[in-house]
């Protein structure tokens, strides 16, 4: 049996990243963070959030090495 896919709400992502949920919505609308509307709520897959964090860390490292 495979592992179930974990989804976060915009509010949960905001709390994890210490940003506002409106910033999370903006990131989804700009295509920076994949999000899926389920009913009235956006959901962000945990794997997509992990990929976003890794990408952000890599960009920061590249900018610091300039």
Q: Is the pLDDT of residue 33 over 80?
A: yes
pTM of the model: 0.85
The bridge status of strand 7-9 relative to strand 36-38 is: unpaired
Determine if residue 49 is left, alpha or beta; phi over 0 gives left, psi from -120 to 50 gives alpha, anything else beta.
alpha
What the block records as the tokens of 13 is 């992502």
Task: Say what percent of the chain tops pLDDT 90.
Answer: 82
CATH 1.20.120 fits 7-64, yes or no: no
């Amino acid at each position: 049996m495979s592992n179930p896919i974990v989804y976060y709400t915009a509010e949960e992502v905001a709390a994890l990243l210490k940003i506002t949920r409106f910033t999370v919505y903006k990131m989804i609308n700009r295509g920076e963070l994949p999000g899926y509307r389920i009913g009235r709520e956006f959901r962000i897959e945990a794997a997509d959030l992990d990929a976003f964090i890794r990408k952000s860390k890599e960009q920061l490292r590249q900018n610091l090495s300039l």
